[in-house]
Copies of this chain bind each other. A is one copy, B any other.
């Protein structure tokens, strides 16, 4: 996420110099070799000094420590953002770690991603055409929010602003629950004696449905734990919808089964996301 942001900013001519931090020698060298960074440092504070735009692209659980490390070196007026998939926990971490400098922090969630992560896969086109959700805290300076909005827009993104809670509710519904369902479907299969035989027969429908089940366990553990309450709300909604199908099947009620499917099929067909790119 961070590498792609650096490449996109450079291509758009929005930055003079990009400095990066990573604790890994290999990652720093790779970022320099690929032209993602102009300088790469092993200290987050050294890397951040003098920057007027900072992006923290770390696992959600590392956000608080990263923000704390930045507090002492954050330039007045600099814009600070993250890219985390949950936002209430990030806001809370920022409130603890940033103190007064929270005015400079605009929590951000770009709805983009690849199956593969790491600077080796950094891609200047990653954010082109995607949505970015900003969830400014109560203390965030509106001028910083406006600057964040202009910046992501300049990278070709559609930008929306909402509360961290509205963000987390929505993503529990359209991202976290689908992931949990895909994980649960894989586990339900492997829990059965015939699971491996069943899997050997699966086709393209199953492939697409279960693609997100291959996601990174540590990343998704953090997302699920951070958004626990909203995920449970969505799981309850799902179980209710599933039980409506089960009841109709048990009652041998073909008309209700068809009407439940029609409702879903019409809603999916009307959904406007262009299905062209697979990312």
Chain A residues engaging chain B, CB cutoff 8 angstroms: 111-113, 130-131, 133, 160, 169-171, 173-175, 177-192, 194-195, 197-218, 220-221, 224-225, 228, 231-232, 234-235, 237-242, 244-246, 249-250, 252, 254, 257-258, 260-265, 267-269, 271-273, 275, 277-279
Contact = CB atoms under 8 A, between A and B. Distances in A.
A271 to B, nearest CB: 6
B261 A220 contact: yes
Contacts of A217: 258, 261-262, 265
Nearest to A245: B180
Given A174-B189, A186-B263, 10 more contacts: A169-B194, A173-B198, A185-B264, A186-B265, A186-B267, A211-B275, A213-B267, A217-B261, A224-B257, A225-B249
Given A169-B194, A186-B267, A242-B235, A221 B178 contact: no
Nearest to A274: B207
Minimum-distance CB pairs A-B, first 9: A183-B264, A186-B264, A174-B202, A184-B241, A221-B258, A213-B268, A111-B203, A188-B241, A188-B237
Q: Does more than half of chain A's interface fall in helix, strand or loop, or is it mixed? A: helix
Q: How many copies does the complex hold?
A: 2
A269 B214 contact: yes
A207 B174 CA distance: 10
Contact of A271 (B199, B258, B262, B277): B199
